[in-house]
A and B are shown apart, each in its own frame.
Chain A
Amino acid sequence: MSGVVVEKLSKVFGTVRAVDDVSFGVAEGSILSLLGPSGCGKTTILRSIAGLEAPDSGRIRLGDRPVFDAAEGGVLVPAEERNLGMVFQAYAIWPHMTVFENVAFGLKVRGTARAATEAAVAAALRLVRLDGYGARYPSELSGGQQQRVVLARCLAYKPTLLLLDEPLANLDARLRDEMRVELRRIQRETGTTMIAVTHDQAEALALSDRILVMDKGRIVQDGTPEEIWRRPAAPFVADFLGTVNRFAARTLDPTTLVAENGARVALAHGLSGAAEICLRPTGAVLEAPGVAGPNRWPGVVAASLFVGEYREVKVRCGTLELDLRISAGPDYPPGAPVTVVIDPERLILFRGEA
């Protein structure tokens, strides 16, 4: 049995197709991330699953229960009857209730007995490591603790699905790392199916079992974090997963390309036709100037910035400028001639338009 099934979902706002014929499923007990830039439709999908937004067409099923069906005599189950949990970007912890009352809310509206409620709240607070905080008001908690209260509030009544809307966006970098680990732990311990929405690729990669990369209301790629990182299905995905150098090339022979600046690239695997090449900033190293050749491009350092673990170096190779992260070797000052050594295993190639 599948956890969530979304079929042919569409939603139009005015003239914008916010969600355009999107279908996917989420396996029970797994974490799926919807990753994309703002305005790509990911939040609309999440809110449609939640029941806060009414899509124009399509179907949504939670387990074997249809909660939305745009077909005639259709179904639109209101949000309060879907038995979901949702973590809002701005937390939405009710400031007039104590932590206990916040966490107990979902149980109270379900008419749970007092003793059972207290036990469930205690268990949920223990799960997020906030035991003993029940009597506090949210305004007395730190940002990270508030985030944990939200999780406890959602998990206390054991929802069939947990939705997370940019769950870590409001935390500082250190807390974000911590909460990522916590979220995975909680997911493991409770087995709750989760769908997260994020525009942060690192968050999506670290958190998810599967990622849907979205652009302009459509799914561009659907895969595991590793697949998406190693084999982006489109230049957009590669771009979105980290600044990359992108340039056009044509094939000279099946294993040799000529980049748009005239330099040659020797490939590890064969390819034919015109191509688009993506090179990650870590996909090359710098050496002292020497003999040029395939994968060894002569260049001149245009700028160099020390940012701690590595240097951000901009190298001009003919008509191309490459942004590289160099973590070893000497410091080449601006103006210095260098050789850029490209690792062909780390190139990402797309068949370009001829």
Chain B
Amino acid sequence: MPRFFVHGLVCCAALLTGVAPYAAGASAAGEGEQHELPNFITLLGQLLAGTSAGEFLHRWENVIFSLLVAGFIILVVRLASRNPQLQPGKLQNFIELIIEELEKFIVGILGPRGRKYVPFLGTLFLYILCMNYFGLIPLMKAPTANINQTLALSLCVFIYVQYAGLRENGVLGYVDHLMGQPRTAMQWALVWLMVPIHIIGELAKPVSLACRLFGNITGEDILIFIFVGLGVAITSFTHVPVGVPLQVPFYFLALLTGFIQALVFMLLSTIYFAMMLPHEDEGHH
């Protein structure tokens, strides 16, 4: 029981520290449009406003956060796998559990020949999940709330899917796939229609992946921002830079959407691989 109480206290303190910089940042922001809670990069940038360092921080904000997330993942996995035991410790057990579940999930869709895509797709899931959840830590920001980040991720998927298609099907098989695998005379007659449709379909996939992730995470960030603003506005008559944590219920919603969007990104990438790779077991999906 007391342990639970301490957790609650820590959470409350974390939420309040999330509110305070808003009150500090809202007065100083002014320039440009702001629809996210200030993070430590923007605060540092405001401290160094006008100098080249401030400009640098402002411009490279998302890159810094995505590198932070990547460093975090590398650190945790390194700690878990540095000294592997036959009888795993807590951290090693946890990481092994995640990786085994991911592998089972992806192999369940792609079949055993999809095992070599597990590292890429699993990393994609873990990276996006950590980036989504990073936005919920006070003074941090979700890099996925920026379209450049999500577009970069989906372009990686696009290029890898095309590469895998070319490699596994061969050039002829790839062109055959783009023509919709014509076998009968009727299908051959419609090739001129199928090729543009397939090309547009391939090009639309990364755009839709990027827009989905970006829209969801940005929408959730704006929702939290608006409710923090509301909570601060309620107590504005006291002139104290703390507010009512009205955003708390939306943190749970954000936990849910962050996980589902990471899962959907990985799942759709897996489906794109499954559609591109040669299917010898037609009809077993």
Partners in one complex: no
